[in-house]
A and B are shown apart, each in its own frame.
Chain A
Amino acid sequence: MASETTPVLSKQVLLWLVVACQSVSVMACGGTYEYAIEEFCLGKFRLDMEELDQHHWCSWEDTVEPYGELTNCTYLIALKMDCFWPNRQVDEFFIRIHKHYFHDCSLSGRQLRDPPNHILGPFIVVPILVTLLMTALVVWRSKRSEGIV
């Protein structure tokens, strides 16, 4: 009797174990991953940003290194845990970081753009006016040199 039930029982146990392992690995790329990046990556980033004066948090040149290291750290942990990167947890992690450190930075970025119109306008109009004045001057002077004023 026992010999017949044990294989059934072990099959059930095996099935349950397999299911449990699957869910654990799924959970690993959710909760455990999140825990891992907060534990291993966030601490260093916090220290780096605290070293920088708060006024420099919005300056890209100063924050690029710690930010890059943080991104790298999350990537390596994802690699180690065999998770896809990027994923939802990493996105939410970064959104929280941004809300804390970068919430009042300007949105213009480093893209070169023209100066505003009240600066661009005079830069263009003044040379044109000077050109017209200079032309009038030359016409006037060459008139005068003929003796006709």
Chain B
Amino acid sequence: PDFESSFVCCVWLCVSGGAGLYCNRTWDGWLCWDDTPAGTVTWQNCPNYFPDFDSTEKATKICSESGQWFRHPDTNRTWSNYTLCNFHTTGKLKMAYILYYMAIVGHALSIASLLISLAIFFYFRNLSCQRITLHKNLFVSYVLNSALTLIYLIAVVNNPDVVGRNPVGCKVLHFFHMYMLGCNYFWMLCEGIYLHTLIVVAVFAEEQHLHWYYLLGWGFPLVPASIHAVARKKYFDDNCWMSVETHLLYVVHGPIMAALLVNLFFLLNIVRVLVTKLRDTHRAESNMYMKAVRATLILVPLLGIQFVIFPWRPENRLAGEVYDYIMHILMHYQGLLVATIFCFFNGEVQAALKRQWIQYKAQWGQRRRDHCSMRSTSYTATSITEVPAFMYHHDCNSEHLNGRHTSEDSELVALKTGETYA
């Protein structure tokens, strides 16, 4: 069916062979078979001429003891075994559809949860401070990434004729997809660097200039994405750049893995500093920061593990399916995970939501409790249980310090090293 394969094979057939008893190299109509020693079975990957042939399956050909290719008993003609190529195809197609819909659901859920989190962060103005600003940027990059992935999945992956036509638009879409993927991981890195600067470098100091973080998070990912686009265009210009069989993908995945490793290193360093140096002198404080670091420290390996186990797909059929499910969950439900850990599991967000809910209930005629005063006393009294909330106010104390929290400053002043506030 493919003239070029026969062309290439025949070119190669002209070169003369070696010695010993072997079956001669031959063209069987679909694939070219090399000189094979007598009494062995040789194999190749199935060709992709037919839609239901899976090119990861194997086609085999038997060379008999006498140096002749195996002949099929019914027709007495030389015969190669292509039965495995389309044997499992219907099952695999079904699995592929399941994974496809899983991916779409994952990204849709991620977008929904991230938009809710952003709404929470924008609505509750008193939550906002520098770390929350970084969270907002991270969430926006995840939303854009999920949106682009959804468009890519629905418009390109599910559409073989678009892939066949190979318009420039689908390559541009792929470029932006790679860019947004980079943005996700570089914003995680920004979070790590921010915490590192805050805790280790300039111990518990207030304002940092966020310009460099914006540059690293939004600007820098253009670099690997552009280099990937150029390399792909020049060396591996397949239709819509869909193939994942190329090492050129490491042009984008390499910097991402580097960012994750650096992030992990920073976070472990923070933990080391908190545990060793600050434990004795600033116990309550280090506990607080530990909670903040813990969230990021949980996320970074979860985001990164997909890159570590990606190359090792098991050969076994069942294990391979399990691997596919796990990889898809790790890859496509990340936005949901980030929103949950950074927003929904955040103590202060939960407190703010509870307050709002109580206010609404009070508006509908229920007895109103004085939550503002309860909140401030609970901060000073129970520093451990309300620790995350404490931490964020501490983070933001440069903005709020001379405002309504002066009553609780006694505790805060004791925590801040060598600084006094009026």
Contact = CB atoms under 8 A, between A and B. Distances in A.
A139 B11 contact: no
A132 B236 contact: no
A52 to B, nearest CB: 15
A126 B258 CA distance: 12
A142 interface: yes
Contact of B193 (A114, A139, A146): A139
Given A99-B14, A112-B238, A139 B196 contact: yes
Contacts of B231: 115, 123
A103 to B, nearest CB: 6
B29 interface: yes
B216 interface: yes
A139 B269 CA distance: 14
Given A68-B3, A114-B236, A142-B208, A128 B197 contact: no
Contacts of A112: 236-238, 243, 246
Given A123-B227, A148-B202, A94 B10 contact: yes
B: contact size bracket: 35 or more
Given A127-B227, A138-B193, A143 B201 contact: yes
B262 A135 contact: yes
Interface stretch (B35-43, B108-116, B248-256, B339-347): B248-256
A127 B189 contact: no
B205 interface: yes
Contact of B14 (A86, A95, A137): A95
Nearest to A131: B255
A142 B8 contact: no
Contacts of B194: 142
Nearest to B250: A124
24 contacts: A71-B3, A95-B13, A99-B14, A102-B7, A102-B14, A107-B11, A114-B248, A115-B231, A115-B248, A123-B251, A126-B227, A127-B224, A127-B254, A130-B255, A131-B224, A131-B255, A131-B259, A135-B193, A142-B194, A142-B201, A143-B202, A145-B209, A146-B208, A148-B201
